[in-house]
A = this chain, B = another copy of it.
């Protein structure tokens, strides 16, 4: 954008064209760099990344999401895309970058060059990895908005599935470190040699210098903002859903199409940004303002001169020919009731609605926050002008409220948005109004469709497990669900190598129950009983086959043998696929003692439990496999009825097996 600033004073058409060429060319090149990186090296780096992080914390791993390549592409791509003036933000990417860094730190480096330090192993478990990624996500929001508490709450309200009080203060700690580091850099950059970084200090869009006076009657415009914000937000979700579907069709055609789409959007953006300000009339500067503040030329600020004579400014250029952050700052600006003409705001709003819809799905790192804030603030400011005679609230505050309402209408967050807006604008007296607006917009939006992140999750086909079971899930039992699945494949405690290989090759299951037959229980039948020993994981079976821990005869291993053979580090590693395992014919006849490898304490449900309750257990405890036990007790009854996994518990999959359930009445939810 910088290249443009020097052309403002000249009126020759040729210089405007040259300016446009520079402007569009620079934008085009920057977009191309971002898009090529994303398309060729790390497709997972495109988009915001927040839905995938949300899914990861729910238990769904997207491959290559937190790798070093993704991280580097995301950083460079995000710089490129934001610098290219596209209508996208850096918050989503920063959240993703934070999570990537956290994940890499936790595992000691990129996959192929991992540090093998002893203490790093302590992080090598699912829970710590999840905690680290949550901390990374909150740090990202904190870095994007300089909003430490908002970052914690965002991670809590939107991103995380499981939450513990320990995690609360750990995320709080990480955002505290982020804000201290930010503060230090702002201190260092005080002299102004870091470009726009540090502008606004720790509070990005300060609107605290205005007296907030409101009375009971102001409830009405506030409610109107909320209701319209909710409707616009859900409309945005709906349209974005449709456009993302079309984009998916285009993107499936190949890398070249992806690139072409991104570049077309870049050119369209450049044309609109540069061309539209010519539609606005030049407006005289308010004589009460000092000369230095109006008009501005050659630097960031309000009242851009652009194509106007001295003493005049172009209000649309003020909003369009600037960085997105500055556009927000300008539209939030307080005590400037006559700065923007309503026509300019309408053009701005329409343009950003279109750009917000077409930009999000292209193959560059892109955040959703800033586009929605821009749209919302324009809508709020327009409403503020319309309400002007009836209210005492400043137009800048209307813009803030409009932005908040559209955010809540689209993203459906409440507490975290409230705190983020508080920390962005530093106006505590506005808090009660902001709360109302957020709640109204969220409620109105919820009437129409789910939140934008849920829509994206569904579009990506990620099997996200919701907190609430559907009401009809209470009308079906886990046993009925197991009956329609293929019969469970179980292994004996001491199993032939051949059978293990066969089972692994013929099934895709990741867990197998281990059942011993003919054991003598402490009391009861003297004829021998079957015993459910536990659950063994595919990964551990492959480990056994790869390390060739075979026995010549069918016997239990001794404890000292176990200690010698197995280390917890081996068990925590990933061991590849069954196809990579080579077993000789002789070895096929040998035995493996699965007892030491078996998780003897799996979570179980009895077959008569309702799917709703099974799902609550599955999700609350964070499981991958859940064994179903029979409710009958007799000789000859097999001790395992089936295994439930995440896929089995997805509403969509259950309904395709039991189509009659959807129609059954639900009644009130409960557990």
Task: Give A621 to B603 CA distance when docked, in angstroms.
Answer: 13
The verdict on A192 contacting chain B, using a C-beta distance below 8 Å, is no
A191 to chain B, nearest CB (A): 15
Partner-contacting stretch, out of A1-9, A346-354, A636-644, A651-659? A636-644
Partner of A169, one of B439, B636, B670: B439
Could you jot down 16 A-B contacts, CB within 8 Å? A127-B670, A148-B431, A149-B431, A157-B168, A168-B415, A172-B414, A201-B429, A202-B432, A419-B419, A423-B431, A426-B428, A529-B633, A601-B606, A603-B609, A631-B639, A632-B639
Q: Which of A603, A604, A631 has the most CB of B within 10 A?
A: A631
Add 15 more A-B contacts to A122-B668, A169-B442 (CB < 8 A): A172-B435, A179-B432, A179-B435, A202-B429, A202-B432, A203-B429, A423-B428, A521-B632, A524-B636, A529-B632, A530-B633, A532-B608, A604-B606, A621-B671, A630-B633
Partner-contacting stretch, out of A30-38, A240-248, A370-378, A612-620? A612-620
A181 to chain B, nearest CB (A): 10
Task: Give A418 to B149 CA distance when docked, in angstroms.
Answer: 8
The verdict on A152 contacting chain B, using a C-beta distance below 8 Å, is yes
Task: Give A423 to B431 CA distance when docked, in angstroms.
Answer: 10
The reply to whether B467 and A164 form a contact with Cβ atoms under 8 Å apart is yes
Task: Give A629 to B605 CA distance when docked, in angstroms.
Answer: 10
Task: Give A632 to B516 CA distance when docked, in angstroms.
Answer: 9
The reply to whether A610 and B601 form a contact with Cβ atoms under 8 Å apart is yes
A597 to chain B, nearest CB (A): 15
The residues in A between 215 and 262 inclusive whose CB is less than 8 angstroms from any CB of B are 215-216
Task: Give A201 to B214 CA distance when docked, in angstroms.
Answer: 13
The reply to whether A165 and B157 form a contact with Cβ atoms under 8 Å apart is yes
Task: Give A384 to B34 CA distance when docked, in angstroms.
Answer: 51
The reply to whether B629 and A525 form a contact with Cβ atoms under 8 Å apart is no
A621 touching B630 in the complex, CB below 8 Å, given contacts A169-B439, A172-B435, A176-B436: no
Task: Give A600 to B631 CA distance when docked, in angstroms.
Answer: 10
The reply to whether B606 and A629 form a contact with Cβ atoms under 8 Å apart is yes
Contacts of A604 in B (CB 8 A): 604-606, 609, 629
A428 touching B202 in the complex, CB below 8 Å, given contacts A415-B168, A629-B606: yes
- Chain B residue, CB-CB nearest to A467: B164
Contacts of A184 in B (CB 8 A): 216
Count of interface residues, chain A, beta-carbon cutoff 8 Å: 89
6 shortest interchain CB distances as A-B pairs: A529-B634, A525-B634, A633-B639, A176-B435, A635-B635, A620-B620
The verdict on A527 contacting chain B, using a C-beta distance below 8 Å, is yes
The reply to whether A616 and B609 form a contact with Cβ atoms under 8 Å apart is no
Question: Number of copies of this chain in the oligomer?
Answer: 2
The residues in A between 276 and 311 inclusive whose CB is less than 8 angstroms from any CB of B are none
A542-562 to B contact mask, C-beta < 8 Å, 1/0 = 000000000000000000000
Contacts of A356 in B (CB 8 A): none
The verdict on A624 contacting chain B, using a C-beta distance below 8 Å, is no
A612 to chain B, nearest CB (A): 9
Task: Give A633 to B604 CA distance when docked, in angstroms.
Answer: 15
A524 touching B439 in the complex, CB below 8 Å, given contacts A152-B415, A601-B477, A668-B122: no
The reply to whether B629 and A621 form a contact with Cβ atoms under 8 Å apart is no
- Chain B residue, CB-CB nearest to A176: B435
The reply to whether A634 and B635 form a contact with Cβ atoms under 8 Å apart is yes
Task: Give A6 to B562 CA distance when docked, in angstroms.
Answer: 85
The verdict on A187 contacting chain B, using a C-beta distance below 8 Å, is yes
- Chain B residue, CB-CB nearest to A178: B432
Task: Give A169 to B158 CA distance when docked, in angstroms.
Answer: 12
Contacts of A519 in B (CB 8 A): 632
The verdict on A173 contacting chain B, using a C-beta distance below 8 Å, is yes
The reply to whether B534 and A608 form a contact with Cβ atoms under 8 Å apart is yes
A494-529 to B contact mask, C-beta < 8 Å, 1/0 = 000000000000000000000000010101110111
The verdict on A571 contacting chain B, using a C-beta distance below 8 Å, is no
